[in-house]
Structure 1
Amino acid sequence: MIDWSQGSYESTAADLRPAARELVDAARIRPGEHVVDLGAGTGNVALLAADLGARVTAVEPAARLREVIQEVSGARDLTVVDGTAESIPLPDGSADVLLSNFAAIFAPDPKAAIDELARVTAPNGRILLTAWLPGGVDELVGIMVGAVREVTRKGSDESTEGRFDWHDPGTLAAHLGPHGFALSATPRDLTTVTASAEEYWSTRIANHPLGVATFPILEQAGRLDEVRTRVFDLIAERWTEPSGEVRLPARYLLAEATR
Structure 2
Amino acid sequence: MDWGKGSYEPTAADLLPAARELVTAANIQPGEHVVDVGAGTGNVALLAADLGARVTAVEPAARLREVIAETALDRDLTVVDGEAASIPLPDSSADVILSNFAVIFAPDPAAAFTELARVAKPTGRILLTTWQPGVLSKLVGVLIAALREVTGGVDMGTPFNWHEPNALSELLAPHGFTVSGRTLDLDIVTASATEYWDTRIATHPLGIETLPILENAGRLEEVRNRVLGMINDDWTTSTGQVRLKAQYLLATAVR
1:185-200 aligned at under 5 Å gives the runs 185-200=181-196
Q: Which runs of 4+ in 1 moved over 6 A?
A: none
Give the Å deviation of 1:219. Answer: 1.0
For 1:186, what is the secondary structure of its paired residue? strand
The answer to whether the Cα contact below 8 Å between 1:183 and 1:258 also exists between their aligned partners in 2 is yes
Q: Which residue of 1 aligns with 2:240?
A: 244
Deviation at 1:177, TM superposition (A): 0.5
Describe the SS at the equivalent of 2:40: coil
**CA offset at residue 150 of structure 1?**
2.0
Deviation digits for residues 204-248 of structure 1 (CA, Å, limit 9, x no counterpart) = 000000000001111112111111011011101110011110001
Question: Counterpart in 2 of 1:87?
Answer: 86
Question: Counterpart in 2 of 1:54?
Answer: 53
1:1-259 equivalence runs, <5 A: 2-154=1-153, 158-159=155-156, 161=157, 163-259=159-255
Q: What's the TM-score, normalizing by structure 2?
A: 0.98
| Equivalent-residue separation in structure 2 for 1:47 and 1:240 (angstroms) | 33
RMSD: 0.9
Gaps of 5+ in 2: none
CA contact under 8 A between 1:137 and 1:249: conserved in structure 2?
no
Q: Is the 8 A contact 1:20 1:44 kept in 2?
A: yes
Code of the residue aligned with 1:96 in structure 2: it is D
Q: Percent identity?
A: 67
State the Cα deviation string for residues 108-148 of structure 1 (Å, max 9, x = none).
Answer: 22211111111111111000000000011221111111211
CA–CA separation in structure 2 for the residues paired with 1:170 and 1:149: 29
**Deviation for aligned residue 1:154:** 2.5
1: distance between equivalents of 2:127 and 2:83? 16
Is 1:151–1:218's contact at 8 Å kept on the other side of the alignment? yes
Quote the offset at 1:162 in angstroms.
5.0
Deviation, structure 1 residue 53: 0.4
Separation of aligned partners in 1, 2:212 and 2:114: 34
Unaligned stretches of 5+ residues in structure 1:
none
